[in-house]
């Protein structure tokens, strides 16, 4: 497998990749001495590459992806993935991963540096001193002690900033829709809504991704809700704070001091009005710019790329659920079951499916079932579309116009845990298959088809049919399959005495010929059947 290192990462990370058996590592600047990561240069090297490591310089656009048919993994050494076309990568089934933890401390410390510079005007005083002045009275400040800090976004970085604020005897308010009360209590902070952060905080710092919901989250209306003399900081993503609104708030005195490391457009324009605001400290996107952080993210992304390409766990993926090794070990038999059920239902149902419903019952509801959802969808799409994997299966299902619904049920069931996949069709009919794990070895088995109890394998060839519950069917099928030289491995029958019908599943060693299938269907007691390949 060929790996392209397109941007400069830790030499330790590069060496790690080179040591992996079966890997051929191409270091871009060694192959092309004047390497500038231009699209033309990238296209020269990426044609037969399966994994690529980038930082922020190299753009992995849709055009680049189009000329890289073997590409499976794009690893970003850092947090932001603005330089990667996520949609195009997802469409192709390419895993996009980053390293959100590698620069956590560096970014948290830079945030606190900005907060301190906004408290004591160090940068301005230093510039004054170098200009030959002694403006001691002009640069008095205030203290962090006893002040209230509002943190928007309590992920890794936000939590680290909160810890440092508490050490400075600050009260911390946190706004994060995903923050639990128990997590807030453990950190010693108070969970509140955004309006309370805005109105009650002396200091505000943002640590959220830039999305449609967070773009201009801090705008004119937000500034109007803040205290006079508030101090504001952004070391997360440009665009969360509306720059024009911030500039006006500083000029009016609403904001006493501010610090930015990220901007709506980077690099910051030379004529930006932000450069002329004395109470605003600016740094050129230095969040991860420490020796330790650079080393950490480079090594981390090298390990992640290697693990993903070698079939191990996928960590910190942007476009699919990430699974750690311990969770993967627990989930593995369920993933096999889920893929089989998805494929089984797709082959059982007519082509007019409009909705897919996955229902989890019993002990399995306590697990993270997102990877299992992907396994079901991967199985369902397996025979419909080429190159389907966990990354692009949901998108491909959506492109077919099929809705997905997942349910975690607490109803009692015959089994301690059950996975049910149901295909709802345009004509109102449904086709359903359920499965569970058997024994200490957790052997996945199909245990129900359209509500009829059966027991069937999750691999191989299955002949599934509905027939009138009359004598001679098993013998007839044995004869017909025998004439076709098809061996029966096992069979499972389910009788419905009320309606007089039966559902039967035969596990076969090979697929019956078209003639044998036609002869089977001629039997007046056999209503319908499917050959299902798992």
Rounded CA separation 182/190 (Å): 10
Q: Are residues 219 and 97 in the same domain?
A: no
pLDDT at residue 324 in the model: 65
Same domain? For 465 and 417 the reply is no
CATH number at residue 256: 3.40.50.720
- Does residue 444 fall inside a structural domain? no
Closest CA to 412 of 368, 363, 356, 445: 363
- Weakly modelled stretches of the chain, pLDDT under 70: 324-325, 497-499
Is beta strand 417-425 parallel, antiparallel or unpaired with respect to 353-362? Answer: antiparallel
Cβ neighbours of residue 68 closer than 8 Å, sequence gap 6 or more: 46, 47, 49, 52
Residue closest to 97 by CA, chosen among 403, 322, 342: 322
Backbone angles phi, psi at 362, to 5 degrees: 90, -150
- Establish whether 266 is a catalytic residue: yes
Same domain for 495 and 471, yes or no, is yes
- Whether residue 314 lies inside any domain: the answer is no
Looking at the domain assignment, is residue 449 inside a domain?
no
One domain for residues 274 and 384: no
**Same domain assignment for residues 356 and 405:** yes
Residues 130, 272, single domain; the answer is yes
Residue at 446 is within a domain: no
The total domain count for the chain is 4
User: What dihedral do alpha carbons 13, 14, 15, 20 form, nearest 10°?
Assistant: 90
Radius of gyration of the chain (CA): 30
Q: Which of 237, 315, 378, 382 is catalytic?
A: 237
**pLDDT per position as a tens digit, 181-227:** 888 999 999 999 999 999 999 999 999 988 888 999 999 999 999 99
Catalytic (active site) residue 285: yes
CATH number of the domain enclosing 479: 3.30.70.260
Structural domain includes residue 426: yes
Dist. CA 430–CA 349, nearest whole Å: 8
Angle subtended at Cα 359 by Cα 353 and Cα 361, rounded to the nearest 5 degrees: 160
Q: Are residues 132 and 227 in the same domain?
A: yes
Give yes or no for a contact between 352 and 427, defined as CB atoms under 8 angstroms apart: yes
| Cα(232)–Cα(246) distance, integer angstroms | 9
DSSP assignment letter at 365: G
CATH number for the domain that contains residue 353: 3.30.1330.90
311 Cβ contact partners less than 8 Å away, ≥ 6 residues apart: none
Degrees (nearest 5) of the Cα angle 513, 514, 516? 65
Residues in the chain: 534
Whether residues 93 and 226 share a domain: the answer is no
pLDDT at 435: 96
Residues 278 and 385 grouped into a single domain: no
Please spell the DSSP secondary structure of 263-303, one letter per residue: -SSSSPPTT-GGGG-TTEEE-SS-TT-SHHHHHHHHHHHHH
Give the end of a domain, one of 242, 274, 309. Answer: 309
Q: How far is it, in rounded angstroms, from Cα 412 to Cα 534?
A: 29
156 and 40 fall within a common domain: no
Is 454 a domain residue?
Answer: no
Structure tokens at 194: 């955004």
Please pick, among 57, 266, 399, 403, the residue that the annotation labels catalytic. 266
Q: Is residue 377 part of a domain?
A: yes
Domain match, 124 and 225 both: yes
Angle at 193 between CA 283 and CA 204, to 5 degrees: 20
Question: Pick the catalytic residue: 59, 285, 357, 495?
Answer: 285
Nearby residues of 474 by Cβ (< 8 Å), 6 or more positions away: 491, 493, 504
Concerning whether 207 is annotated as a catalytic residue, the answer is no
Q: Do 153 and 277 belong to one domain?
A: yes
**Domain interval for residue 65:** 2-101+293-309
Q: Is residue 447 part of a domain?
A: no
**Is the pTM higher than 0.85?**
no
The confidence score (pLDDT) of residue 495 equals 80
Helix/strand/coil percent split, the chain, to 5:
35, 25, 40
Q: CA 162, 168, 174 angle in degrees (round to 5)?
A: 25
Dump the DSSP string for 416-460: SEEEEEEEEETTS-EEEEEEEEETTTTEEEEEEETTEEEEE-SSS
Helix ranges, 147-231 (H): 156-167, 181-187, 194-200, 220-225
């Amino acid at each position: 497998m060929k790996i392209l290192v397109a941007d400069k990462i830790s030499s330790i990370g590069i060496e790690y990749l080179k040591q992996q058996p079966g890997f051929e590592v191409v270091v871009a600047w060694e192959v092309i001495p004047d390497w500038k990561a231009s699209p033309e240069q990238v296209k020269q090297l990426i044609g037969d590459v399966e994994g690529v490591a980038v930082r922020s310089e190299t753009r992995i656009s849709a055009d680049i992806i189009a000329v890289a048919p073997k590409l499976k993994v794009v690893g970003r050494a850092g947090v932001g993935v603005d330089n990667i076309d996520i949609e195009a990568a997802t469409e192709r089934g390419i895993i996009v991963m980053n390293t959100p933890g590698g620069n956590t401390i560096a970014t948290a410390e830079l945030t606190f540096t900005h907060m301190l510079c906004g408290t004591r005007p160090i940068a301005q005083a230093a510039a004054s001193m170098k200009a030959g002045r002694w403006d001691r009275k002009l640069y008095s400040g205030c203290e962090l002690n006893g002040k209230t800090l509002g943190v928007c976004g309590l992920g890794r970085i936000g939590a680290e900033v909160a810890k440092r604020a508490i050490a400075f005897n600050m009260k911390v308010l946190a706004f994060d829709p995903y923050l639990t009360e128990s997590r807030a209590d453990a950190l010693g902070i108070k969970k509140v809504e955004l309006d309370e952060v805005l109105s009650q905080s002396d200091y505000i710092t943002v640590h959220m991704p830039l999305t449609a919901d967070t773009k201009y989250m801090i705008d004119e209306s937000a500034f109007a809700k803040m205290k006079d003399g508030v101090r504001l900081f952004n070391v997360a993503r440009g665009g969360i704070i509306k720059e024009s609104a911030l500039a006006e708030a500083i000029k009016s005195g609403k904001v006493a001091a501010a610090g930015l490391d990220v901007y709506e457009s980077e690099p910051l324009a030379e004529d930006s009005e932000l450069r002329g605001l004395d109470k605003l400290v600016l740094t050129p996107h230095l969040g991860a710019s420490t020796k330790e952080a650079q080393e950490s993210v480079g090594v981390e992304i090298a390990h992640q790329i290697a693990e993903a390409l070698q079939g191990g766990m996928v960590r910190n993926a942007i476009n699919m659920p990430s699974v750690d090794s311990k969770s993967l070990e627990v989930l593995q038999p369920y993933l096999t079951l889920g893929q089989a059920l998805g494929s089984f239902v797709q082959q059982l149902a007519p082509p007019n499916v409009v909705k897919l419903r996955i229902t989890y019952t019993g002990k399995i509801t306590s697990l993270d079932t997102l990877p299992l959802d992907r396994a079901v969808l991967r199985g369902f799409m397996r025979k419909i579309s080429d190159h389907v994997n966990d990354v692009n299966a949901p998108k491909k299902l959506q492109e077919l116009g099929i809705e997905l619904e997942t349910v975690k049920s607490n109803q009692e069931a015959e089994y301690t845990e059950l996975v049910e996949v149901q295909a709802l069709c345009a004509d109102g009919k449904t086709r359903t298959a359920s499965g569970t794990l058997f024994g200490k070895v957790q052997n996945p088995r199909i245990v129900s088809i359209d509500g009829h109890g059966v027991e069937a394998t999750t691999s191989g060839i299955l002949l599934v049919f509905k027939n009138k519950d009359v004598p001679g069917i098993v013998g007839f099928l044995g004869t017909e399959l025998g004439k076709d030289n098809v061996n029966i491995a096992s069979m499972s029958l389910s009788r419905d005495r009320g309606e007089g019908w039966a559902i039967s599943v035969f596990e076969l060693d090979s697929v019956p010929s078209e003639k044998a299938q036609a002869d089977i269907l001629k039997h007046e007691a056999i209503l319908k059947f499917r050959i299902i390949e798992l």
